[in-house]
Structure 1
Amino acid sequence: MQLDVATGSTPADVDACVALWLEAVGARDGHEPVVGTAEHCRAKFDATIVSWRLLRGADPRLLGFGLATTTPATGDDAYLGLLAVSPSIEGRGGAGRLIDTVIADAATAGLPGVVLNVMTDNTRAIGLYASRGFVAAGAPHEHALTGREAQRYRRDLTRVPRP
C-alpha cells in the first residue's frame, strides 16, 4: 500500500483529523471516546504548529496524521500532542513514517527535543516510540481528560544531524 505524507493546512484537514482521532481512540479503548475528546483534540490545532502531517493512500481519504506544537508546558521542545492512524492500516508503517517526519520537522526548526504523553497501558505505542528513540521522562501522571495513567516520553534532538 502506498502511503504519502503531506502537510495539513485547511479547516477541512482539521475536521478530518478530529474525526480520525475519535475513530482511533475508540478502536484503541474499545468504546466511544469520553465526552470532550473532540473539543480537546480540536483545541490542539490552535497552538503554534511545528509540524502537521497527513498520511493518505491512493484515494484522498485521511489515513493518519501527526500534530506537533510548541506550548509553555513543554519549554523549548516540540509537543507531539496528536498521532493517529486509521485502524484499517495499523501495523503497516504509517505511524512510524509520521513520527519520523515530525521528528525531522522539529529538528529542522532547531528544537532540542520532542515530547509526548502516552497511556501507560498502550504498550504498542510505547514500543513504537521507544523504537524511534523516545525515553520515559519523569513520573507517570493522570491524563487531564480521561484520568488514566499516562507517561511523558522525550526524544533528544541535539544529536540529530541538522539538514
Structure 2
Amino acid sequence: MRPLDLLLAVPSLLLLIVLATVAGPGIAVLIAIVAVITFPDVARVARAAALEIGARSALEAMRLQGESWWRTSVVYTGRSMARPLAADMGVRFTSSLYLVASASFLGVGVPPDAADWAVMVDRNRTGLFLQPWAVVVPALLVIALSVGLNLLFDRALRKGTT
C-alpha cells in the first residue's frame, strides 16, 4: 500500500495535467489517466473492506470446515465487499467526472470540438452575461448526472437490504 500512498500524496489535478501533457490528447488516454488517479482510493477502500471481512468469525468457521479458497475468498468475501464497493463507486464516479470536466476545461482533456459539457461551459463563459443559460445548463447537467447516479446507487443498495 505504500506506493499507492505516495500516489495519493500528489494532488489529482496536478497529476492529471502532467500525465495528459506527457501522454497526449485522446479519450482513451483520459480514461486511463483517470483510472490511474482513482485506483489508489479504490484499492484502499477495497483493502479496508476485505480486512474487516477477513476478521469475521464466519470466515474462520468456513476455513475450519474445509471450504475451498475460491468459496471463502471469492464467493463470501467478494459478496460481502459488494455493498461497500458499490457505495464507493458513486463517489468515485463523481470525482472522475470532476477530473474529466477539469481536464476539458483546462484544455488537456477531450478535443475542443467535442460535445462535452465542460467544454461547453469553457467555450460559452465569455458570453456569460449575454446568454447565461449557455453556461448554466451544461453545469446543471453535470450536477444532475452526478446526483442522479449517486441516488441510483443508493437505491440499488437499499433494495438489496429489503
Structure in which a larger fraction of residues adopt strand: 1
Larger-gyration structure (1/2): 2
The higher-RCO structure (CA 8 Å, 6+ apart) is 2
TM-score normalised according to structure 2 size: 0.25
TM-score normalized by structure 1?
A: 0.25
